[in-house]
Structure 1
Amino acid sequence: MTILVFKNLENILNKNSYDVQKTVADLQKFIQKRTEYISLIKTTSDSLKKLNIKPHFHSDNTFEVGLLMPNELTNSKITNITKELNNWDKVFKTLKELTSGSVDDTEINFVNNGSLEFFIDNGPQIAICLAVTVERIIKVYKNIVEIRIAKEKLKDLGVSTGEQKDIERQEKDILEKGIDTIAADIIKEFSIKQLDSGRVNELRIAMKGHITYIAKCIDNGMVIEINPPEIPEPSEPKETDSDEKKNEVQKLKENYDKTLEQINIVQKSMDTVKTIGKTGVDIVKYLTEGENLND
């Protein structure tokens, strides 16, 4: 939201840089709309409080992964929605096996029908693994988009078709190497030691497919969000507490600090993700054929 506000202000200031009166008028109009918006948010918040409707957050170390699927991706067809959910089920199963050694079916905990958004509860390790994966995909994605933009500029300048093809080949190499690197790094950073080398290699191959699929989802406008829990800070032990009580409080404090660190990692990664939206540039067109990118 803050980034969008700054972009709007920047556009206003740059649009009519030589017309001070127009700039002032646009700024006043923006301030008025912004004030109305903030007032509406406050009124809505106050109304929800009066109705005793509280925000939904987990109070333990459960992270909530949200998948918002735009209508352009699913066309509101059950077959398309099912295909996307099945693909994400494979992603979560791989992450679960990678981080814990177990494989469970993915459960949908909440569905938002205002826009088609599915929420799935996960533990902190899976949340961190997914957040870091998406962040690194976004960085590769951004590099490819910048190459595409530069290529279009060179095309306008009359660069030959042969040289444009060379750029496309380099683009493909960068993307393939980027995906390989992300998959290898995720395996190295998050896989548990109990997995044998053969299975680790299989999971690395699976991760490459998942990374390509997630990149495609992002490119098609899917929003991936990870909502951290809101955990209460434990109270400090009292002098009069027993040793057992003090140890219990100390353990709660350690768990709190650990979860807080996990939340910070996820939020840092997701902040990076939020800075880049849909560009309409299909960055994986050279790597995939057919519909199911996870097979």
Structure 2
Amino acid sequence: MNTTKLHIIAKALKKEMVRVGSVSLVNQAMQALQNQINQPQQPNHQQQLSNHLTNLYKKLEDSPVDDFSPAWRDAMEELSVSEEFGEKLEARVRGIFERNQITPQTALEEMKKLHEDLSGTETQLTGLVSGLEYFGVGEDELETNECEVGIIIPRAYVKDNLKAFGAELIEIEKSLLVFSELATGKREPLEIRQISSSELSVFLDYIPEIGACIAIAVERIVALYKQLLEIKKLKKDLVAQEVPEDKLTGIEEYAASIVSPKLDELANELMEKYGDHLDPARKNEVSIEVRRSLNKIANRIDRGFNIELRVSEQAQDEEEEVTEDAQTQAAARQQILDSASSIEYLEQVGEPVLFLPENSNETEE
């Protein structure tokens, strides 16, 4: 990740640690547990421990970290702090006490280690943010009416090959350009905001109206794809049991048969919502291209790609006149915010099961 993105992520994580007070709450729970071990006959120590844990769990509910985009979650993995926030931290604490119900001393040692990890992370985040600010490194903030679409490409997909990576960027461009025409009637060249090399990621600059169209498409495909994860897990298990490949063909065909009709519905919905401004002849061509683009996006999500969207959260000035354009932009921003919160990070499970047609010379099975 680059420094501007690191800056804004580190600042958000630091803010969340302060909001939750995780270092202090874990320390309080640790002290109550120590008292319980020293004086097991005193029931108030156990009650204090329960109160501290309940308070911690309540603070961790609905943590904004749990709604971080795929790229931001990747960054947390790189920083080795993903288990120190939100639902993952809650699961870690609960796991300590569930594993050590009859061995409180072991639980205490694990809580000490957790407290040490949290204290270290808080200290380092504070130093990191201060250092970046000292050296004048900006934050990766979006300007007014700016939308960012990020595509995270698995290194294994392009085998770390520059030519393959370049070819994939061309395919990504082909997939996304049609949404520009659908939403605005024009195909503007895609502009790069940032590129990251830790994971091969490209972040593109859009206006919210186009971003909203892409957001709906990605949100629906991700929701649909989650239904296929169990099928992928089943296929992975069958491969592990050395079931012949020809016997697995039916699984792939069944998966595709679920997806294709839903993508047809999605393409029609997008055309109805955004395509009124297109003339009839062009509308039919765009409709076909939208359908192919949806296939491309679905195929890549099946192969471990992640797509995320961010948008500036511009507040309407009370004294500013609410124009029709302003209303359109506000609706587009809200659509992106709503969709982005529903687009989850998806880890690749087993081998791909979707092989949907992407080009005009391919035909649906």
**TM-score, scaled to structure 2:** 0.63
**1:250 aligns to what?**
321
Give unpaired runs (5+ residues) of structure 1.
Answer: 157-162, 238-248
Q: Pick closer, same or farther for the CA change 1:175–1:252 going to 2, 3 Å.
A: closer
Q: Pick closer, same or farther for the CA change 1:176–1:45 going to 2, 3 Å.
A: same
Q: Pick closer, same or farther for the CA change 1:80–1:152 going to 2, 3 Å.
A: closer
Q: Is the 8 A contact 2:149 2:204 kept in 1?
A: yes
The residue type equivalent to 2:94 in the other structure is L
The counterpart of 1:35, out of the listed 101, 119, 123, is 119
The counterpart of 1:183, out of the listed 258, 262, 267, is 267
Q: Pick closer, same or farther for the CA change 1:200–1:30 going to 2, 3 Å.
A: farther
Q: Is 2:169 aligned against 1:105?
A: no
**1:218 aligns to what?**
301
Q: Is 2:338 aligned against 1:268?
A: yes
Give the drift of 1:208: 2.1
Give CA deviations for 1:170-229 in whole Å, capped at 9, x if unaligned: 4332111122122222222222x2313343232222222211211222233323222212
Q: Pick closer, same or farther for the CA change 1:166–1:111 going to 2, 3 Å.
A: closer
The counterpart of 1:201, out of the listed 281, 284, 307, is 284
Q: Is the 8 A contact 1:58 1:231 kept in 2?
A: no
Give the drift of 1:136: 0.6
The residue type equivalent to 2:153 in the other structure is M
Distance in structure 2 (CA, Å) of the matches to 1:221 and 1:167? 19
Q: Is the 8 A contact 2:293 2:358 kept in 1?
A: no
Q: Is the 8 A contact 1:57 1:230 kept in 2?
A: no
Distance in structure 1 (CA, Å) of the matches to 2:251 and 2:159? 34
Q: Please list, as runs of the form range in 1=range in 2, the aligned pairs for 1:1-295 lying within 5 A after superposition.
A: 1-2=65-66, 5=85, 6-10=87-91, 13-14=94-95, 17-20=98-101, 21=104, 22-149=106-233, 169-191=253-275, 193-231=276-314, 234=317, 236-237=318-319, 249-251=320-322, 255=326, 259-285=329-355, 287-288=356-357
Give 3-state SS (helix, strand or coil) of 2:304's partner: coil
Q: Is the 8 A contact 2:222 2:343 kept in 1?
A: yes
Q: Pick closer, same or farther for the CA change 1:151–1:111 going to 2, 3 Å.
A: closer
Give the drift of 1:138: 0.7
Give unpaired runs (5+ residues) of structure 2.
Answer: 1-64, 68-81, 241-246
**2:24 aligns to what?**
none
Q: Is the 8 A contact 1:62 1:122 kept in 2?
A: yes
Give CA deviations for 1:37-94 in whole Å, capped at 9, x if unaligned: 2332222112222222221323221212222223212223222112111112112220
Q: Is the 8 A contact 1:108 1:119 kept in 2?
A: yes
Give 3-state SS (helix, strand or coil) of 1:68's partner: strand
Distance in structure 2 (CA, Å) of the matches to 1:280 and 1:87? 24
Mean Cα deviation higher: 173-182 or 273-282? 273-282
**TM-score, scaled to structure 1:** 0.76
Distance in structure 2 (CA, Å) of the matches to 1:116 and 1:171? 28
Q: Pick closer, same or farther for the CA change 1:170–1:224 going to 2, 3 Å.
A: closer
Q: Is the 8 A contact 2:176 2:293 kept in 1?
A: no
Q: Is the 8 A contact 2:194 2:203 kept in 1?
A: yes
Q: Pick closer, same or farther for the CA change 1:87–1:263 going to 2, 3 Å.
A: same
Q: Pick closer, same or farther for the CA change 1:252–1:27 going to 2, 3 Å.
A: farther
Distance in structure 2 (CA, Å) of the matches to 1:288 and 1:262? 30
Give 3-state SS (helix, strand or coil) of 1:37's partner: helix
Q: How many residues align?
A: 275
Give 3-state SS (helix, strand or coil) of 2:256's partner: helix
